[in-house]
A and B are shown apart, each in its own frame.
Chain A
Amino acid sequence: MPMRRWWDRAHPVVGAPGARGLGVGREEWVQVARDAAASGGALLSLWTTQEGEGTRDRLTDSPAEAAVYCAYLTDRGVLIVELALPSAAEPAMYPGLEALFPAASRLQRAAFDLSGVRSSDPDARPWLNHERPYDFIRVDGEGVHEIAVGPVHAGTIEPGHFRFSVVGEKVLRLEAHLGYVHKGLERRFCGLPILEGHRLAARVSGDSAVAFSWAYCQALEGMSGCTVPQRALWLRAACLELERLANHLGDLGALGNDAGFAFGLAQFSRLKEDLLRAMSAAFGRRYLFDIVVPGGMAVDLPQEAAEALADTVRAVCAEASELRGIYDEHEGVRDRFTGAGCLDASLAARLGVLGLVGRASGLGRDLRADVPCPPYTGLQVAKAVQQGGDVAARVAVRFDEARESGRLLLQLLSALPQAERAVAVEPPADGAFGVGLIEGWRGPVLVALQAGPQGSIRRCHPHDPSWQNWPALEYAIMGNIVPDFPLINKSFNLAYSGVDL
């Protein structure tokens, strides 16, 4: 257990259960990464800070100083490693982690675009900065040609550019170029009142509103040392599972539709709509924005409303399992799903794939079961793990998780503890640091939060697991045919907004 020594040296970090932090030097920075990779840890996130990086709202008077942070997911919890970079005349640079964690590459490039702190890795193409044309990697050979798709698509979907190198219908290589919805979120956080940051966090990726706002609140509540009432935690978990269930239902319908099976779309859309209406009746919102607030919940759930919601969940899950039978037995649908976009377990582990996509490729990580935060500690969440790694496996994981979410929801809603819905939260002291980590529907959502003076935010870094999974999509499509890409892409269903920040 080489990771053990780092873990023992680290100091506890408030927020997510079991989180620890560690300040390291330049050599140790690489050693920790090596040990984390060797012990099967995953790179959760990487971000940099640079004080006074040309900000108009400069928060401190301390000299310009940069730091790079890296979060690893180990079986004990999250370990945050900090490497302080001395302020010097030359631009700050830190040892890159691309060789150990392929997903680090884009994170490092994005971090450079945001803060000017560069890694030592060779690939230094801008990621979020679109000022110059992007250098795609070209594939040479007889009959190879490129198909450029996006960023404007024929449907109302988020923008992203996909460059396929193909021979006939066969895809040799895919390179994605994102960043078209970059909106300066991290900068927007700076200086906001820390007690209101959850609203912006919920909007990092709208389909994961509960996950992001809970992660934010978890970090904040840890920093200010408040104890969230049990009832609020139960309700937050219910909201998180509702979000998961709604997204999975939507995806299952869309997957059917992309296989040309419009019946599936019609049925699952109806089920999702039933659920959204029940959510609207219960919480006053179809999508659960601004419901998780620092200290608890924005609204309570009366007993009758909880029962009505549970009835809808029960009905929706029963119908979903009926539809699963149709998907499983329909020859055309099965033919499209099976073997398409295969991401095998060793490749998935090498790429550090997270969340739902990882579980479909045999990587059995689920924060709700591995390092549960209350109320998941008492719920015994069953992980949905498949070994296939193809579209069929990702569909199966969605069906399994939808069923498990239904079970959890019924359990949560039937046993809501009697307590207040929220308590007051004091803004944390200047310089306090906390981290929130929640298993959203796509995978682990991380929010790292640092307080500034007078109850403001000094720095907030939200991280969506799509960062890790986008590169995996490029491997999953290799050797498949061009017209299967939309189906494979949909089976990943990764965030654009959540990574373009």
Chain B
Amino acid sequence: MRTLDWITQVLEVVVALAAAPAFLGWLNQCRAWLQNRSAPSLWLPYRNLHKLFHKDAVLADNASPLFRIAPYIVFGAMVLAAGIIPSMGTRLPLVVSADAIALVGLFAAARVFMSLAAMDVGTAFGTLGARREMMVGFLAEPALLMVIFVASLISSSTALPAITENLASGRIGLSPGLAFSAVAFILVLLAENARIPVDNPATHLELTMIHEAMVLEYSARHLALMEWAAQLKLFNYVCIGFALFLPWGVARAHIGPVGLLVAVPALAVKLALAGAGLALIETVSAKMRVMRIPEFLATAFLFAVLGLLVHVLLGA
């Protein structure tokens, strides 16, 4: 079984790397359709990455080494995160290295490097974006942790595969505690991935940007890594959502090789549905004022706490 475990592990990372751009492409397609526009190609994000990797990088004169290595660190963190989220199987050899709390820390580390790099060159927009990103981050992380705690309490473990294993084996349908957490998680996902209503990934208005403002100074391979990392982050978040709330179809420990054959199409179906759902949320919402983001994320935290309370009180 050890070989199979490693196959699962490698497959998860490879699928995440390969499918993350397509997921964003699918999301953009759904958004375009919902807005009555003709949609861009599903493969557009790949073409973008390809284009960027073949360009010569331009660096600001005063860019420090931090600015150059940040894209690799951020990208590396996202790849590592993809390795410990059970998107297809629960027996992942890498998982012993990090539990769900470490995962949140991994995202936080990426955020710190990204913000430092944004401020490194000293432009107004980078600093503006970094400041807003840190605000979103420090409000979103507690909410995310709280969501994970609900699932951890139910499963008596902070390791994501153990949680998934436990939840997948139980009843069909969400417990009330998890239902509240799921709402909180969607809010956090939107905020953390710079989606509407918190940030607008499609805008060209520098003054309103959060994520985009931080990567304005990057070009070529650095920008490609940053964009790919952002796509991976979105993919990872969606997979965390599946692991916590929709664990069905994941290859569980006792099933064996057949499990993987089911897990791959199951993941594809879930991603397609999630992409359409996110596009719907983004289409019917407008971008909120930056000053409303704390309210938005406080709501997320409140829902997560409610989930915890419901679980403790009802024991459900």
Chain A residues in contact with chain B, CB under 8 A?
146-149, 153-155, 169, 256, 258-263, 265-267, 270, 330, 332-333, 335-336, 481-486
> Top 9 closest A-B pairs, CB basis?
A260-B287, A332-B286, A155-B204, A486-B205, A261-B286, A483-B208, A266-B35, A147-B124, A154-B204
Write the chain B residue with the least CB distance to A490.
Answer: B205
Q: How far is the CB of B284 from chain A (nearest CB, A)?
A: 8
- For residue B231, give the distance in angstroms from its CB to the closest CB of chain A: 20
Enumerate 30 A-B pairs (CB-CB under 8 Å) in ascending A order: A146-B124, A149-B124, A149-B206, A153-B204, A154-B204, A155-B205, A169-B290, A169-B291, A256-B286, A258-B208, A259-B287, A260-B196, A260-B286, A260-B287, A260-B288, A261-B286, A261-B287, A262-B31, A262-B202, A263-B35, A265-B35, A270-B36, A332-B285, A332-B287, A336-B289, A481-B289, A481-B290, A481-B291, A483-B289, A483-B290
Q: Establish whether residues A336 and B205, one from each chain, have CB atoms under 8 Å apart when the complex forms.
A: no
B289 near A335 with CB under 8 A, answer yes
Residue of B nearest to A256 (CB): B286
In contact, A333 and B205 (Cβ under 8 angstroms): no
Q: Which chain B residue lies CB-closest to A156? A: B204
Residue of A nearest to B291 (CB): A481
Residue of B nearest to A170 (CB): B291
| Chain A hits for B288, CB < 8 A | 260, 332, 335-336
The answer to the question of B37 belonging to the interface, with a C-beta cut-off of 8 Å to chain A, is yes
A262 touches B283 (CB 8 A): yes
- Say yes or no: A258 contacts B285, CB within 8 Å: no
Which residues of the other chain, A, contact B206 by a CB distance below 8 angstroms? 149, 153-154
Within 8 A of A (CB), among B190-204: 196-197, 200, 202-204
Chain B contact surface mostly: loop
Q: How far is the CA of A336 from the CA of B216 in the complex (A)?
A: 25
CB-defined contacts of B31 to chain A, threshold 8 Å: 262
A148 to B289, CA, bound (A): 21
Chain B interface size, as a band, is 20 to 34
Q: Of residues B125, B287, B288, which shows the largest number of chain A Cβ atoms within 10 Å of its Cβ?
A: B287
B269 at the interface (CB under 8 A from A): no
The contact of A266 among B36, B196, B200, B286, by CB within 8 Å, is B36
In the complex, chain A residues whose CB is within 8 Å of the CB of B216? 154
Q: State whether the Cβ of B118 lies closer than 8 Å to any Cβ in chain A.
A: no
Are the C-beta atoms of A336 and B207 separated by less than 8 Å?
no
> Which one of A260, A267, A482 contacts B128 once the chains associate, using CB atoms below 8 Å?
A482
Contact A267 B287 (CB under 8 A): no
Interface residues of B in 211-234 (CB under 8 A from A): 216
- Distance to closest chain B CB from A158 (angstroms): 14
Q: Could you tell me the distance between the alpha carbons of A154 and B216 in the complex, rounded to whole angstroms?
A: 10
| Bound Cα distance A266, B283 (Å) | 11
Known A154-B205, A483-B208; judge A336-B124 contact (CB<8 A).
Answer: no
Asked whether, in the complex, the Cβ of B208 is within 8 Å of the Cβ of A486, the reply is yes
User: A154-B206, A260-B286, A261-B285 known; 13 other A-B pairs, CB under 8 Å?
Assistant: A153-B204, A154-B205, A155-B204, A258-B205, A260-B288, A261-B287, A262-B35, A262-B202, A263-B283, A330-B286, A332-B197, A333-B286, A486-B208
Given contacts A262-B202, A481-B291, contact A267 B36 (CB under 8 A): yes
C-alpha gap A260/B291 in the complex (Å):
15
B248 to chain A, nearest CB (A): 33
Bound-state Cα–Cα, A308 to B291, Å: 48
Known interface pairs A259-B287, A336-B289. Does A266 touch B37 (Cβ–Cβ under 8 Å)? yes
> Shortest distance in angstroms between A299's beta carbon and chain B's nearest beta carbon?
33
A338 smallest CB distance to B (angstroms) = 11
